[in-house]
Chain A
Amino acid sequence: MKILVCISNVPDTTTKIKFNNEKTEFDKTGVQWIINPWDELALTRALELKETSNGVITAVTVATVGLIDSEPTIRKALAIGADNAVRVNANPKDAYYVAGQIAEVVKKDGYEIVICGIESSDYNGSAVGGMLSEFLEYSSVSSVSGMNIDGGNIVVNREIDGGKETLAVKAPFVAVVQKGIAINPRIPNMRGIMMAKTKSLAVVEPAAMDELTSYETYELPAAKAACKMISAENVKELIDLLHNEAKVI
């Protein structure tokens, strides 16, 4: 079986978020780009599964929809250990468009397991994984916090309100993964970085696909009133404020 991990190229999570003067576009000046944190965990788990599957998993491929400026992030995924990569050469404007492009990649190359992070840390859409599964008419499991392969059987853990479910699923399927899928993301080592330079990074042109939504404008949250400080010697005052002023207790 082959695994495809979908990767999103996102601003470092400590980036100070700014927009252009018209507030229509994210200001990319000086921004460091990283693999979306959930996708990095997805990739880590995919590699662990490949290494422990006794040959059941034959390859782990990463795919992204992005222009050439997303290549450093893809090379990082290769350095972490992905076997090869596919980049769909397009600006990823809308989740429907992106999922549709990745679906074409899956249809062409045939992956039995597709893993996507639950959301990207920029647009927070939580959309591509689910959309992809519907484009492919695959079953999908979302909120996945654990995944194991036992022979041909795939066992996943799904977070539910106040607990966890274990599901046995049959390939092909899409796993939308979140915290817990891997403990710590893998960090590329020197050998990985050297090897990444020689791994295949295929660039494919996008298929015709609609954009169902457009990001029109952005707004920063209104400035918050200053924090009201209360003396540690007088916590009674805090209780009073929470009751009478904030009216939350």
Chain B
Amino acid sequence: MAILVYTENWEGKFKKLSYELVSYAAKLAEDMGTQVVAVSIGNTDKEQLKTLGKYGASKVIAVCNGELNTLHNRAYTAVLAQVAQKENAKIVVLAHNNTGKALAPRLSVKLKAGLVSGVVALPISYQPVTFRKKSFNGSAFANVKVNSPSAIVTLFQNSYEIVEKGIEPTIEEFVPTFPEINAQVTNVDKVTGKILLTDAEIVVSGGRGMKGPENWAPIEEFASLLGAATACSRPVSDENWRPHSEHVGQTGKIIAPNLYFALGISGAIQHLGGVSSSKCIVAVNTDKDAPIFEAANYGIIGDVKKVLPDLVAAYKEFKAS
């Protein structure tokens, strides 16, 4: 028996998210009296693979195959299913991100293992295993019981703290079989050198209150001072003031940073659905009755165009002190 965790890599490197998943799996394994096996697909060197042990993986299975350098859902699912069967995985843990959402449901059918997606905490019960997940766009939590002998979960980013265990893992190479790949990546268009919205600990986000794309310079400046990513509300991306990739909210990206600045964002329910899991929300808005103040921890009533430069100045002063 084992807890299996799929640790995605980004150009050969793991991220904090990968270690959160391993830490979560380690706690499940501890509670169930078993151990964690991590599986990595793609080119990752031994030193990187070993870092998974630091957070609790006893064994790391590395799958390296030229055809698997980009995500192909059907082939990746076949690989994960073979590893899960080989290790007799009781629970398989994946991230609730693009990749996890693509693979976990396929794996659920392949292994006939119940899927609970968007999990935010440790199981509320192990007999039978029951997980707490987000539902209704963050307006509620649901406790979902798994009826099958094994389970699959996708874990929300930032919902479990990383814990160091300091295990020296065994590393095993595995050669899988998978069905023919009939999709081909013909182009990759990537922004480099920017902090990714989904990775950011701090996010500075602007709404209609910014009045126009020409007013975004202070947001960019504030974000760069904070080491933050920039984001926006839906009307802003609909108006093409900012790229769609920056839209956070129910139909855009769902994020959970430590600190979220909502600048000139009124906080429609659809927007809150995408940001309500942030640890701390700061709102600046002219309208004292804006719903964003109900979700925020700290609020300033005022015109963001006036408040933001003061905020930038105050932060610079704080950094200098």
Contact = CB atoms under 8 A, between A and B. Distances in A.
Nearest to A127: B105
A212 interface: yes
Interface in B47-105: 70, 72-74, 77, 96-98, 101-105
B295 A161 contact: no
B318 A215 contact: no
Contact of A130 (B73, B139, B147): B73
25 contacts: A96-B109, A121-B136, A123-B142, A124-B134, A133-B73, A133-B74, A134-B77, A139-B72, A139-B74, A139-B183, A142-B98, A159-B98, A160-B190, A162-B190, A162-B196, A169-B183, A212-B112, A213-B115, A213-B147, A217-B143, A232-B300, A236-B317, A238-B300, A239-B318, A248-B258
Contacts of B300: 229-232, 235, 238
Given A139-B74, A212-B146, A213-B147, A128 B105 contact: yes
From A26, A94, A215, name the one whose CB has the most chain B CB atoms within 10 angstroms: A215
B115 A212 contact: yes
A163 B301 CA distance: 35
Interface string A113-124: 000001101111
Interface of A: 11, 13-14, 17, 19, 26, 37-38, 94-96, 99, 118-119, 121-131, 133-135, 137-143, 145, 155, 159-170, 173, 176, 178-180, 210-221, 224-225, 227-232, 235-236, 238-243, 246, 248-249
Contacts of A38: 251
Contacts of B301: 229, 232
B311 A130 contact: no
Contacts, number: 282
B136 A214 contact: no
Interface string B131-149: 0111111111111111110
How big is chain B's contact interface, by range? 35 or more
Nearest to B191: A162
A118 B298 contact: no
A101 B135 CA distance: 23
Contacts of A224: 294-295, 297
A122 to B, nearest CB: 6
Contact of B302 (A155, A162, A232, A240): A232
